[in-house]
Structure 1
Amino acid sequence: MTMAIPESVKVWSQFGHPVMMWVLFGLTIYAMYLGVQIRRTRSAEKEVRKELIKKQFNLKHHQIGSVLLALMVLGTLGGMAVTYINNGKLFVGPHLIVGLIMTGIIAVSAALTPYMQRGNELARISHIGLNTVLVGLFGWQAVSGMDIVINIIGRM
């Protein structure tokens, strides 16, 4: 028994992934801002540090990071699923490969958390480096993704 997906769902589902990824791109930049504030808090003078701690940058960074990890994985899988549903195949090209690499990067970055909590400076530097690369790749993906969206709209 095969369940046919309505054509309207097939068409409009193609836009869920790009919208979600643009939101995630914004959240990634916000998470980076929070991370910078955590770093600033660690190196601040005692009085300034007390004020910065009250803003709970570390808690917000962890919460946003958790949401990013979950939605990045789901967004990657969803984008691939929608592509397969609409085309019967995946297009193995730079956008797909970089998206998969980004999913790996965010997973490794999150996995460093317990080590950073124990004060491991190498883990912190790795986390910062990985996420800086992630933001750069996200910017490139935004551009290449919009090219794909324009191509999809052109075929409608």
Structure 2
Amino acid sequence: MLSMASTLSLLKFSVLPKNPHQLFSTPKVHQLPSSISARLNTPKDPPKPTQFLEQHSISNALKTVPLTLTALTFPFLLEQKDAALAVDGEFGILEGRTFALIHPIVMISLFFFTLWTGYLGWQWRRVRTIQEEINELKKQVKPTPVTPEGKPVEGAEAPSSSVELKIQQLTEERKELLKGSYRDRHYNAGSILLGFGVLEAVGGGLNTWIRTGKLFPGPHLFAGTAITVLWALSAALVPSMQKGSELARSLHITFNTLNVLLFISQLPTGFEILMKVFEFTQWP
């Protein structure tokens, strides 16, 4: 009320004087002789008094504008001191326990989904590496002697060596892995993890702000931020991995391993925050 009263009192000051002629009397202008005027390069027609009054009035008006704007905004600056606090029921159910429990439920689900996605990725890597093992073993197999017609020499066929048995075993294993379509499943799972992970990472911080009006810098917030960044970096390596870059594949595995470790480190701090949610929030 005090701020509004001060505003009204300030607004009572007129921007322009009611009668400008009361402040400025019309000056009497005397014409100089033509000879003197020519020597002084003085124009024969001096400015009219009315033009002088108009220019002076506009100048005074511009000088009073900052004062008027200050008077208008001053009460709003005083009354907005608590506007940044997003609490006291302003957001309704968004401040309640139901909305607050979405983040921990989704994130614990994403933790197990991360492990599943990693398993799919490792199986797809096994499909690629097992073929490389087969190619290396084939180099160790001695060729079977053949006749000029291309037929094996009778009696020259040796029993299957351990290397050949290993090749057969790996070949059968690779066939079974290919049936699992691990490449496509890993790609789809990674896309889901990236989308929902980033969405809920931002949503968790937003929920904290809605309930408390601020964020709490600490291990949980920093680890969550690092996890989100690692998700983005891992996804950015996919084009290079598809082109066969071993460096990109190694970095992809490294980033996701760190991601899992950070996820595990968040479990204790996340549980503490969950207990505070039950303590300071109400249903719904």
Q: TM tier, shorter chain? A: over 0.9
The residue correspondences of 1:6-25 to structure 2 (distance < 5 A) are 6=92, 8-11=93-96, 12-25=98-111
2:266 corresponds to which residue? Answer: 141
Instruction: Give 1:105 shift.
Output: 0.4
The structure with the larger Rg is 2
1:30 corresponds to which residue? Answer: 116
Which segments of 5 or more consecutive residues in structure 2 lack a partner in the other structure?
1-88, 131-169
TM-score scaled to structure 1, two decimals? 0.93
- Residue type of the alignment partner of 2:198: V
Instruction: Give 1:43 shift.
Output: 2.1
1:108 corresponds to which residue? Answer: 233
Instruction: Give 1:119 shift.
Output: 0.7
Aligned with 1:90: secondary structure? Answer: coil
1:151 and 2:279 aligned? no
Instruction: Give 1:47 shift.
Output: 3.0
Instruction: Give 1:50 shift.
Output: 2.2
Q: Deviations over 1:68-89 (max 9, x none)?
A: 0011110111001110011111
Going by fraction, where is helix more abundant, 1 or 2? 1
Q: Which has the higher contact order (CA 8 A, sep 6+)?
A: 1
The residue correspondences of 1:6-155 to structure 2 (distance < 5 A) are 6=92, 8-11=93-96, 12-44=98-130, 45-155=170-280
Which segments of 5 or more consecutive residues in structure 1 lack a partner in the other structure?
none
TM-score scaled to structure 2, two decimals? 0.52
CA distance in 1, matches of 2:190, 2:107: 15
Instruction: Give 1:17 shift.
Output: 0.4
CA distance in 2, matches of 1:67, 1:142: 21
Instruction: Give 1:98 shift.
Output: 0.9
Moved more, 43-52 or 133-142: 43-52
**Matched length:** 153
Aligned with 1:91: secondary structure? Answer: coil
Moved more, 14-23 or 141-150: 141-150
Instruction: Give 1:124 shift.
Output: 0.5
Match of 1:5 among 91, 101, 104: 91
CA distance in 2, matches of 1:52, 1:152: 45
Q: Deviations over 1:97-156 (max 9, x none)?
A: 110111000100011001111110000000001000101111111221111101221234
Aligned with 1:114: secondary structure? Answer: helix
CA distance in 2, matches of 1:140, 1:112: 25
Instruction: Give 1:9 shift.
Output: 3.4
CA distance in 1, matches of 2:195, 2:171: 36
Moved more, 67-76 or 146-155: 146-155
The answer to whether the Cα contact below 8 Å between 2:94 and 2:210 also exists between their aligned partners in 1 is no
CA distance in 2, matches of 1:107, 1:53: 28
CA distance in 2, matches of 1:43, 1:76: 34
Instruction: Give 1:46 shift.
Output: 2.9
